Copies of this chain bind each other. A is one copy, B any other.
Amino acid sequence: MNFSSKLLENAVSEFGRLPGVGQKTALRLVLHLLKQSDAEVLRFTSAINHLKEEIQYCRICFNISDFQECEICTSSKRDHSIICVVEDTRDVMAIENTNSYQGSYHVLGGLISPMDGVGPSDLKIDGLVERMRKQDIKEVILALSATMEGDTTIFYLYRKLKEFNVQVTTIARGIAFGGELEYVDELTLGRSIATRTLYERPTL
Protein backbone atom coordinates (compact mmCIF):
# COMPACT_ATOMS: atom_id res chain seq x y z
CA MET A 1 0.00 0.00 0.00
CA ASN A 2 1.01 3.57 -0.67
CA PHE A 3 0.85 5.36 2.67
CA SER A 4 0.93 9.12 2.76
CA SER A 5 2.25 9.00 6.31
CA LYS A 6 4.93 6.94 8.07
CA LEU A 7 2.99 7.19 11.33
CA LEU A 8 -0.07 5.76 9.66
CA GLU A 9 1.96 3.01 8.02
CA ASN A 10 3.48 2.02 11.39
CA ALA A 11 0.13 1.85 13.13
CA VAL A 12 -1.37 -0.19 10.28
CA SER A 13 1.54 -2.59 10.24
CA GLU A 14 1.23 -3.11 14.01
CA PHE A 15 -2.50 -3.81 13.70
CA GLY A 16 -1.76 -6.12 10.77
CA ARG A 17 0.30 -8.36 13.07
CA LEU A 18 -2.82 -9.34 15.00
CA PRO A 19 -4.22 -12.75 14.05
CA GLY A 20 -6.85 -12.59 11.32
CA VAL A 21 -6.30 -8.88 10.67
CA GLY A 22 -5.16 -8.14 7.11
CA GLN A 23 -3.80 -4.87 5.76
CA LYS A 24 -7.19 -3.56 4.67
CA THR A 25 -8.85 -4.34 8.00
CA ALA A 26 -5.87 -2.86 9.84
CA LEU A 27 -6.21 0.36 7.87
CA ARG A 28 -9.94 0.51 8.57
CA LEU A 29 -9.37 0.03 12.32
CA VAL A 30 -6.57 2.61 12.45
CA LEU A 31 -8.60 5.20 10.54
CA HIS A 32 -11.48 4.52 12.93
CA LEU A 33 -9.21 5.19 15.91
CA LEU A 34 -7.94 8.37 14.23
CA LYS A 35 -11.49 9.67 14.13
CA GLN A 36 -11.97 9.13 17.86
CA SER A 37 -11.09 11.73 20.48
CA ASP A 38 -7.63 11.77 22.08
CA ALA A 39 -9.13 10.55 25.35
CA GLU A 40 -10.78 7.57 23.69
CA VAL A 41 -7.60 6.50 21.91
CA LEU A 42 -5.63 6.87 25.13
CA ARG A 43 -8.21 4.76 26.95
CA PHE A 44 -7.80 2.08 24.27
CA THR A 45 -4.01 1.94 24.41
CA SER A 46 -3.74 2.24 28.17
CA ALA A 47 -6.26 -0.59 28.68
CA ILE A 48 -3.85 -2.80 26.74
CA ASN A 49 -0.75 -1.47 28.48
CA HIS A 50 -2.30 -1.89 31.94
CA LEU A 51 -3.38 -5.41 31.10
CA LYS A 52 0.10 -6.35 29.92
CA GLU A 53 1.86 -4.70 32.87
CA GLU A 54 -0.39 -5.71 35.72
CA ILE A 55 -1.87 -9.02 34.73
CA GLN A 56 -1.02 -11.99 36.91
CA TYR A 57 -1.52 -15.69 36.65
CA CYS A 58 -3.17 -17.39 39.61
CA ARG A 59 -0.40 -19.32 41.39
CA ILE A 60 -2.76 -22.21 42.05
CA CYS A 61 -4.64 -22.75 38.75
CA PHE A 62 -2.58 -20.48 36.42
CA ASN A 63 -5.71 -18.75 35.12
CA ILE A 64 -5.44 -15.08 34.17
CA SER A 65 -6.18 -13.05 37.28
CA ASP A 66 -5.85 -9.57 38.77
CA PHE A 67 -4.47 -11.08 41.95
CA GLN A 68 -1.94 -13.72 43.06
CA GLU A 69 -4.76 -16.16 43.58
CA CYS A 70 -7.84 -16.02 41.37
CA GLU A 71 -11.45 -15.55 42.47
CA ILE A 72 -12.36 -19.15 41.78
CA CYS A 73 -9.43 -20.64 43.72
CA THR A 74 -10.16 -18.42 46.74
CA SER A 75 -13.94 -18.83 46.67
CA SER A 76 -15.47 -20.73 49.56
CA LYS A 77 -18.46 -21.63 47.40
CA ARG A 78 -16.48 -23.80 45.00
CA ASP A 79 -15.63 -27.47 45.41
CA HIS A 80 -11.83 -27.54 45.50
CA SER A 81 -11.68 -31.34 45.46
CA ILE A 82 -12.56 -31.33 41.76
CA ILE A 83 -10.15 -29.90 39.19
CA CYS A 84 -11.19 -29.23 35.60
CA VAL A 85 -8.09 -29.16 33.39
CA VAL A 86 -8.39 -26.83 30.37
CA GLU A 87 -6.14 -25.47 27.66
CA ASP A 88 -6.52 -21.72 28.25
CA THR A 89 -8.51 -19.00 29.93
CA ARG A 90 -11.11 -18.95 27.13
CA ASP A 91 -12.12 -22.48 28.10
CA VAL A 92 -12.55 -21.40 31.73
CA MET A 93 -14.84 -18.61 30.52
CA ALA A 94 -16.81 -20.98 28.29
CA ILE A 95 -17.35 -23.46 31.11
CA GLU A 96 -18.19 -20.71 33.60
CA ASN A 97 -20.80 -19.44 31.16
CA THR A 98 -22.61 -22.79 31.32
CA ASN A 99 -23.25 -22.21 35.06
CA SER A 100 -23.06 -25.97 35.51
CA TYR A 101 -19.65 -26.46 37.12
CA GLN A 102 -18.79 -25.62 40.72
CA GLY A 103 -15.30 -27.08 41.03
CA SER A 104 -11.91 -25.47 40.43
CA TYR A 105 -9.77 -25.25 37.31
CA HIS A 106 -6.25 -25.84 36.12
CA VAL A 107 -5.10 -23.91 33.04
CA LEU A 108 -2.36 -25.74 31.12
CA GLY A 109 -1.53 -22.82 28.85
CA GLY A 110 -1.58 -24.98 25.73
CA LEU A 111 -1.65 -28.58 24.52
CA ILE A 112 1.19 -30.99 23.79
CA SER A 113 1.97 -30.54 20.10
CA PRO A 114 5.27 -31.93 18.79
CA MET A 115 4.53 -30.30 15.42
CA ASP A 116 4.53 -26.85 17.04
CA GLY A 117 7.40 -27.71 19.36
CA VAL A 118 5.20 -27.69 22.48
CA GLY A 119 6.26 -30.39 24.94
CA PRO A 120 4.89 -31.30 28.39
CA SER A 121 7.50 -29.06 30.06
CA ASP A 122 6.00 -26.00 28.30
CA LEU A 123 2.68 -26.59 30.04
CA LYS A 124 1.68 -26.14 33.67
CA ILE A 125 1.63 -29.89 34.28
CA ASP A 126 4.07 -29.83 37.22
CA GLY A 127 1.76 -27.39 38.94
CA LEU A 128 -1.12 -29.83 38.50
CA VAL A 129 0.89 -32.73 39.93
CA GLU A 130 1.88 -30.54 42.86
CA ARG A 131 -1.78 -29.77 43.54
CA MET A 132 -2.48 -33.52 43.58
CA ARG A 133 0.17 -33.94 46.28
CA LYS A 134 -0.84 -30.97 48.44
CA GLN A 135 -4.63 -30.90 48.16
CA ASP A 136 -7.17 -33.65 48.65
CA ILE A 137 -8.39 -34.08 45.08
CA LYS A 138 -11.20 -36.52 44.31
CA GLU A 139 -11.63 -35.99 40.58
CA VAL A 140 -9.74 -34.50 37.67
CA ILE A 141 -11.88 -33.66 34.63
CA LEU A 142 -9.84 -33.37 31.45
CA ALA A 143 -11.82 -30.84 29.39
CA LEU A 144 -9.54 -30.61 26.37
CA SER A 145 -10.29 -30.22 22.68
CA ALA A 146 -11.22 -33.32 20.69
CA THR A 147 -8.14 -32.97 18.51
CA MET A 148 -4.92 -34.91 18.07
CA GLU A 149 -3.16 -32.49 20.45
CA GLY A 150 -5.98 -32.73 22.97
CA ASP A 151 -5.91 -36.53 22.89
CA THR A 152 -2.11 -36.61 23.24
CA THR A 153 -2.30 -34.29 26.24
CA ILE A 154 -5.11 -36.34 27.80
CA PHE A 155 -3.05 -39.51 27.44
CA TYR A 156 0.03 -37.87 28.95
CA LEU A 157 -1.93 -36.41 31.86
CA TYR A 158 -3.69 -39.73 32.48
CA ARG A 159 -0.33 -41.46 32.92
CA LYS A 160 0.92 -38.68 35.20
CA LEU A 161 -2.20 -38.84 37.37
CA LYS A 162 -2.36 -42.64 37.60
CA GLU A 163 -0.14 -42.74 40.71
CA PHE A 164 -2.60 -40.63 42.68
CA ASN A 165 -5.81 -41.96 44.14
CA VAL A 166 -8.01 -39.80 41.93
CA GLN A 167 -10.79 -40.33 39.44
CA VAL A 168 -9.76 -39.10 35.99
CA THR A 169 -12.63 -38.27 33.62
CA THR A 170 -12.95 -36.60 30.23
CA ILE A 171 -15.88 -34.52 29.07
CA ALA A 172 -18.43 -36.41 26.96
CA ARG A 173 -17.94 -36.47 23.22
CA GLY A 174 -20.77 -37.01 20.82
CA ILE A 175 -23.18 -35.14 18.60
CA ALA A 176 -24.01 -31.63 19.69
CA PHE A 177 -27.48 -30.67 20.91
CA GLY A 178 -29.46 -29.55 17.91
CA GLY A 179 -27.01 -31.32 15.60
CA GLU A 180 -28.58 -33.17 12.68
CA LEU A 181 -27.31 -36.69 12.22
CA GLU A 182 -26.67 -36.42 8.50
CA TYR A 183 -24.22 -33.58 8.99
CA VAL A 184 -22.22 -35.23 11.79
CA ASP A 185 -18.82 -36.57 10.69
CA GLU A 186 -18.35 -40.35 10.67
CA LEU A 187 -15.80 -40.43 13.50
CA THR A 188 -18.02 -38.52 15.90
CA LEU A 189 -21.08 -40.52 14.91
CA GLY A 190 -19.23 -43.83 15.23
CA ARG A 191 -17.84 -42.89 18.62
CA SER A 192 -21.17 -41.61 19.88
CA ILE A 193 -22.73 -44.98 19.04
CA ALA A 194 -19.89 -46.86 20.73
CA THR A 195 -20.19 -44.72 23.88
CA ARG A 196 -24.01 -44.64 23.89
CA THR A 197 -25.69 -43.98 27.23
CA LEU A 198 -28.79 -45.47 28.80
CA TYR A 199 -31.90 -43.44 27.99
CA GLU A 200 -33.30 -41.66 30.98
CA ARG A 201 -36.94 -40.74 30.64
CA PRO A 202 -37.33 -37.08 31.52
CA THR A 203 -39.37 -36.61 34.69
CA LEU A 204 -42.37 -34.51 33.76
Selected from B27, B33, B63, the residue in CB contact (under 8 A) with A4 is B63
**B7 touching A93, Cβ below 8 Å:** no
Known contacts: A18-B32, A49-B41. The answer to whether A27 contacts B66 by CB under 8 A is no
Number of interface residues of A (CB under 8 A): 58
- A30: contacting residue among B31, B45, B48, CB under 8 A: B48
Q: Do B55 and A49 touch across chains, with their CB atoms under 8 A apart?
A: no
Residue interface mask A39-56, B partner, CB < 8 A = 1: 001111111111111110
In the bound complex, do residue B71 and residue A4 qualify as a contact, i.e. CB atoms below 8 Å apart?
yes
A135-146 Cβ-contact flags toward B at 8 Å (1 or 0): 000000000000
Candidate in A14, A28, A51 with the most chain B CB atoms within 10 angstroms: A51
Oligomer copy total: 2
Q: Which residues from B are CB-within-8-Å of A33? A: 18, 48, 51-52
Binding site for B on A (CB under 8 A): 1-8, 10-11, 13-15, 17-21, 25, 27-34, 38, 41-55, 58, 63-66, 70-72, 88-90, 92-93, 96-97
8 residue pairs A–B, Cβ–Cβ below 8 Å: A1-B93, A4-B64, A4-B71, A4-B89, A7-B51, A11-B50, A19-B28, A34-B64
Q: Knowing that A4-B89, A17-B44, A38-B52 are A-B contacts, what are 19 other residue pairs whose CB atoms are under 8 Å apart, sorted by A's residue number?
A: A1-B97, A2-B93, A4-B63, A4-B72, A6-B66, A7-B51, A10-B51, A11-B50, A11-B51, A14-B44, A18-B32, A20-B25, A31-B88, A31-B89, A34-B55, A41-B48, A45-B45, A45-B46, A45-B48
